[in-house]
Structure 1
Amino acid sequence: MPLNILFSGPEPLWDEYKDILPKGLKDHDINAHISTDLPAESVDYIVYAPNDSLTDFTPFKHAKAVMSLWAGVETIVNNQTLTQPLCRMVDDGLELGMREWVAGHVLRHHLGLDRHIHGLKGQWDKTAPPLARDRKVTILGLGMLGTSAAKTLVDLGFDVTGWSRSPKTMQGVTCLHGDAGLKQALIDAEICVTLLPNTPSTQNILNAERMNWMPKGAVILNPGRGVLIDDDALLDALASGQILHATLDVFRVEPLPQDHPFWHHPQITVTPHIAAQTRAETASFVIAQNIRRSEIGATLLNLVDRSAGY
């Protein structure tokens, strides 16, 4: 008999996946019936993106796993009705998208591209940027996305420091961890990239005190989670000149409200949560691979540690 797979997500997502996901399953020799509407007792797997129509997982007594389409699972991980194994999305589409976004915006600020595009206005100023090896970049978070971004920046020649909550090692990167390591990581961070998950310990990790640890005129890039930065402290730091510019891809409320001060601030660049989008083709491959593993009794990939929150 075919497996029953419930696709539960915002309606526009189904249009993206309705042809690609069945193909991915077929390529993995999985016989499955995929639908957005199945009796709960018949469901074997749930492919999930946050939506209002599925908040209670209790009826899905036979579901073997919930496969998240998002890398972040903070909207679901604390749902007390969710007793099934939960897998977060880890795929090369997310990884490649993130490292390209990070590399592009680091290079933008390193080279001072805004100054040449918007600021010279006929002035023949031959001031050149430093070489990448003389530019100190700190990445907060050395998970899959942070590690990939760090490697890319190392390959470009940057002096890269990475910070994580637990010890990590990475060739070419100065790896720091813990509270003491955080101050050391920020004190020389001319460009700081935040790629941490949303957990109680990471919320407002860049607050007023920590932004003041950074060199005056530093730049912040946040493609991680909106809650990583204290918004009011950031506005104050921009006003004082402590922070020169912030490029932000994620926000506490999305879409970012039209009246939010970030939209029109001259020292803030807003990108609409595009740094690492889940792409249907690569995500469908990961989902199919994981269902195949489950069906042959292998360990599921990218299982969420509920105690850690990711």
Structure 2
Amino acid sequence: MPITILSQGRNVEPWVKALKEKRPDLDLRVYPEDQPREEITFALAWGHPLGAFRQYPNLTCISSLGAGVDHILKDPDIPEQVQIARIKDEDLTTDMANFTMALVLNHLRDLHTYKAAEETQTWKPLRYKRNADVTVGVMGIGTLGSAVAQRLSSIGLRVTGWANSAKQIEGIGMYAGAGELDAFLNAADVLICLLPLTPDTANILNKENLLKLPKGAFLINVARGEHLVEENLLELLETGHLSGASLDVFREEPLPESHPFWSHPKINVTPHIASVTNPESAVDQILENYDRNQRGEEPLNLVSRTRGY
């Protein structure tokens, strides 16, 4: 049975190449040149055209081409019986841990400030905090969040984590549920958002919650742009409650040229590159799920539509 790939705005050729190199006889198709669609039971997707899956009457499984699945779950036309899977990839996890560590250290050592000072040839050494004196709070302790928390802890930072349900990670102070969110936020000198995007987590980085952070706290968002209420961030940077932010994800991508984040002196912008799935390392997992699908078995990393991850 064939596999089809549906993606808007992403070059799928690396995926085609990796899949065909691993399994040369695979019947691999790419939307919209993937007729007849009645033959297709398994699809790969990232940013697919909403409503497109109505055209696949025998579809039984959709695999995201990344760790996130909000881009699939927001499509109301996917039948309930279609299973949805996501990718858990070691390279993806390592890349995220390395990137967030770099952002935290960039903030603690004021590298962004020194880069700006180069333009005016300003020589002004700044006092800095040592790792042991800083608490980093990680919102979202899934595969990526756990790896980030452990990496930051390994370089001597105090690290706490917050999740929807109770979890235990050695060396990490854990908080769980709505009842412990305030205490988690109150202690975080640096807040990193790695939550899945669900109806419960959308807009969670709002003024009410950000005000619970200590004065001078720093925000890092590497999850989804819809987690952040942008005007609230700008307001709290203006008042000085927050010292700055590093943002890798945005409500509209690419970030519009006129957006105030581009020119804000306290905001670092990166173009959604914190961690990108490597087709070569993820292809075995995809093919395993394709084979499971053909045998009528449950895929690896099955997503709960109720939880949203």
* Fold in common (TM above 0.5): yes
1:205-239 CA-to-partner distances (Å, cap 9, x unmatched) read: 12112211111111100001111111111000000
1:40 corresponds to: 37
Bigger mean CA deviation after superposition, 83-92 or 155-164: 83-92
Q: Residue 18 of structure 2 aligns with which residue?
A: 20
1:278 match: 277
Instruction: Write the distance in 2 (CA, Å) between the matches of 1:233 and 1:115.
Output: 23
Counterpart position of 2:250: 251
Q: Which secondary structure does the structure 2 equivalent of 1:203 belong to?
A: coil
Would the aligned equivalents of 1:78 and 1:306 in 2 still touch at CA under 8 Å?
no
Match of 1:57 among 47, 53, 64: 53
Between the two proteins, the alignment pairs up a number of residues equal to: 302
1:6–1:38 contact (8 Å) kept in structure 2: no
Q: What TM-score does the superposition give when structure 2 sets the normalisation length?
A: 0.91
Hey, what does 1:89 align to over in structure 2?
A: 87
Q: How does 1:158-237 map to 2 (within 5 A)?
A: 158-237=157-236
SS of match in other structure, 1:210: helix
Contact 1:193–1:221 at 8 Å: present in 2 too? yes
Per-residue CA distance 1:257-303 (angstroms, 9 max, x = gap)? 11111111111111000012122212323211222333455531111
8 A contact 2:205–2:227 mirrored in 1: yes
Letter in 1 for 2:204: I
Which ranges in structure 2 are unaligned for 5 or more consecutive residues? none
3-state SS, counterpart of residue 11 of structure 2: helix
Taking structure 1 as the reference length, what is the TM-score of the superposition?
0.90
Three-state SS of the structure 1 residue aligned to 2:136 is strand
SS in 1 for 2:305: coil
Deviation per CA, 1:106-140: give whole Å up to 9, x if none: 11112222344444856474x55333122110001
CA distance in structure 1 between the partners assigned to 2:116 and 2:102 by the alignment:
18
**Conserved 8 A contact 2:42-2:293:** no
Cα displacement (A) at 1:70: 2.8
CA distance in 2, matches of 1:104, 1:250: 16
Paired AA for residue 32 in structure 1: L
Quote the sequence identity (%): 33
Is the CA contact (8 Å cut-off) linking 2:185 and 2:209 kept in structure 1?
A: yes
- Tell me, yes or no, if structure 1 residue 72 matches structure 2 residue 71: no
Tell which deviates more after alignment, 201-210 or 145-154: 201-210
1:184-212 Cα deviation digits (max 9, x unpaired): 11112111100111111111212112211
Structure 1 residues 118 and 189: CA distance shift in structure 2, 3 A? same
- Deviations 1:131-158, CA, capped at 9 Å, x for gaps: 3122110001101111110010011111
Unaligned segments of structure 1, at least 5 residues: none
> Which position in structure 2 is the counterpart of 1:141?
140
> In structure 2, how many angstroms separate the alpha carbons of the residues matched to 1:156 and 1:293?
40
Given the alignment of the two structures, is residue 106 of structure 1 paired with residue 104 of structure 2, yes or no? Answer: yes
Residue in structure 1 matched with residue 260 of structure 2 by the alignment: 261
* More displaced 10-residue stretch of structure 1: 87-96 or 211-220: 87-96
- CA drift of 1:12 comes to 4.8
